[in-house]
Chains A and B, each alone.
Chain A
Amino acid sequence: MLLSPALAISAVLFTLGVAGVLLRRNAIVIFMCVELMLNAVNLTFVALAQPLGIGGQVFVFFVMAVAAAEAAVGLAIILAVYRHKQSVGLQNMNLLRD
């Protein structure tokens, strides 16, 4: 039975994604950490599809579709920000602070 190890690995991967978001200042790397979190959730869906039916695997499709859309739009936003600021560091994006 692989359910328990899959859930454990998924929890660790999700935590690493959260830690990466908290730790980094590069917008693209933070984006990759978000993808890591989505993949951790996908692993949970696939692991639970085994005892609970195929619906979990179908849902992974939707997660992948949303992740692809999010990556395309997000990277376009990062490109637009880079054109204004010549940087992707989040420490430079403080327009609301001043």
Chain B
Amino acid sequence: MTLTVFWIFGVIAMGSALLCITRRNPVVCALWLVVTLFALAAMYVMLDAQFIAALQVLVYAGAIMVLFLFVIMLLNLGRPGPTDIKGPVGLLLAAVLAGTLLFQLRVLGGAQALPPSAIQLPPGSLAAIQARQGIVGAVAGPLFDTYLVPFEIASVLLLAAIVGAVVLAKRKL
């Protein structure tokens, strides 16, 4: 039952991703990408990552995609125009390269590449940690403990991104 629901959301994600890369209008592309992100959030919930799913909806589907739609509409790219999809040669090249990549990923990520059972936690141990520390606490604990330095570096990165975006987008400083 769980597996069926997971595959349903997976098919939604893959189908809307395919529509996202083939639609001509950038606004339509962005909206199909939002559908993909929501399906991914549902899959995160089924993988015991409820807090990540909430963040996915808030940060990705909320903030980042609104930024994309804002820029598309600011530049007035939503109107119908000539297609930006490459011709048959480009299509063939993209299909061949993407097919090769998919084959390689399936070989690398196949059954023999799954983590060995010696280093795997017993099933349900993640849910047990979440029951003990809370869903947010289970993620926040290591974030402010083991991963404190990367966390601070990420804050510096965001600050640099704010300054960089303002400098780049402003006409005259």
Of residues 4 to 60 in A, which have CB atoms within 8 Å of B's CB atoms? 4-9, 11-20, 22-26, 28-29, 31-33, 35-36, 39, 42-43, 46-55, 57-58, 60
B residues near A70, Cβ cutoff 8 Å: 161
Contact A65 B158 (CB under 8 A): yes
Which range contains the number of A residues in contact with the other chain? 35 or more
B residues near A14, Cβ cutoff 8 Å: 101, 105
Of residues 135 to 163 in B, which have CB atoms within 8 Å of A's CB atoms? 138-139, 141-143, 146-147, 150, 154, 157-158, 160-162
Question: DSSP majority for the A interface?
Answer: helix
Among A18, A51, A54, residue most surrounded by chain B Cβ atoms (within 10 Å): A54
* CA of A2 to CA of B64, assembled, Å: 28
* CA of A78 to CA of B166, assembled, Å: 13
* CA of A69 to CA of B164, assembled, Å: 9
Contact B77 A15 (CB under 8 A): no
B1 to A: closest C-beta gap in Å: 12
Given contacts A5-B6, A19-B95, is CB(A52)–CB(B120) below 8 Å?
yes
A residues near B21, Cβ cutoff 8 Å: 16-17, 19-20, 23-24, 29, 33, 36
Contact A32 B30 (CB under 8 A): yes
Of residues 46 to 98 in A, which have CB atoms within 8 Å of B's CB atoms? 46-55, 57-58, 60-62, 64-73, 75-80, 82-83, 88-89
Contact B6 A57 (CB under 8 A): no
User: B173 on the interface (CB 8 Å rule)?
Assistant: no
Contact B14 A16 (CB under 8 A): yes
* CA of A5 to CA of B10, assembled, Å: 8
Contact A58 B6 (CB under 8 A): no
B residues near A76, Cβ cutoff 8 Å: 164-166, 168-169
> Which of B49, B109, B150 touches A57 (beta carbons < 8 Å)?
B49
4 other contacts beyond A60-B49, A79-B169, A82-B75, with CB at 8 A cut-off?
A: A20-B21, A46-B44, A64-B59, A83-B171
Selected A-B contacts with CB under 8 Å, 19 pairs:
A4-B111, A6-B47, A12-B102, A15-B102, A19-B98, A24-B85, A25-B85, A28-B71, A32-B30, A54-B129, A55-B146, A57-B138, A60-B55, A61-B143, A62-B154, A64-B60, A69-B160, A76-B168, A78-B75
